Amino acid sequence: MSYDNDPLIKYGRSLAGVLIAVVISVLIAAFIGGSLPLEYGGRAWVYTGLVAYVLAGGFVVFKLTAGAEQGGLSAARVLKWTASLWIWPLFLLLQRR
């Protein structure tokens, strides 16, 4: 059985990195949304907006870097991916130039 054409093998490191970073970022979004001095509905909308922002960032960052990850996953690499999910509009601006 050949796995050469399997996209999950080809993009495995990038996919694993972005999935771990999304989980961490959703927890950060929950902390931010829960710590705001708003009513429950306001906190829920802020959390929903942050999660949508992070998911969009996960898609953009994965699309820009898919298959380019070298080496294994490390704590530093996961932190880099997590930070990238929060500043992803910068990457879109830099890529368009």
Span 67-85, average pLDDT: 81
The yes-or-no verdict on residue 3 having pLDDT over 90 is: no
| Separation between Cα atoms, residue 2 and residue 16, nearest integer Å | 21
Q: Give residue 87's pLDDT.
A: 93
Span 70-81, average pLDDT: 81
Please state, rounded to an integer, the average pLDDT across all residues of the chain: 86
| Separation between Cα atoms, residue 12 and residue 24, nearest integer Å | 18
Local confidence band at 57 (pLDDT 50, 70, 90 cut-offs): very high
The model's pLDDT over 39-56, given as tens digits with 9 standing for 90+, comes to: 999 999 999 999 999 999
| Separation between Cα atoms, residue 9 and residue 55, nearest integer Å | 22
Q: Give residue 2's pLDDT.
A: 61
